[in-house]
């Protein structure tokens, strides 16, 4: 993996973990945009760390249900 690719992965991981709680509080449209971003991020991450994908998904599901913004469509 190239150095720039590692740096990009670090930025993505930092972005997803720092802003997850804040985005759950925002309106549903922004939250859905984040879900879309996270799905692309998880596809990338599956090649590197499959357990992290499972953790991210479970945390997202738990936090979103707790904050009342989860929907099943």
Share of the chain above pLDDT 70, in %: 41
Residue 64: φ, ψ to 5°: -70, -40
Domain ranges of the chain: 11-66
Tokens coding 27: 């309106």
Q: pLDDT for 12-43, tens place per residue?
A: 555 555 566 565 565 667 777 777 777 777 77
**Cα angle: 35, vertex 37, 40; to 5 degrees:** 110
- Residue 24 neighbours by CB distance under 10 Å: 19
């Amino acid at each position: 993996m190239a150095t720039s690719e590692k740096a990009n992965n670090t930025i993505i991981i930092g972005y997803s973990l720092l802003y997850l709680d804040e985005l759950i509080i925002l309106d549903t449209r922004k939250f859905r945009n984040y879900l879309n971003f996270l799905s692309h991020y998880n596809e990338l991450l599956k090649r590197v760390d499959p357990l992290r994908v499972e953790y991210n998904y479970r945390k997202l599901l738990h936090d979103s249900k707790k904050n009342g913004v989860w929907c099943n469509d």
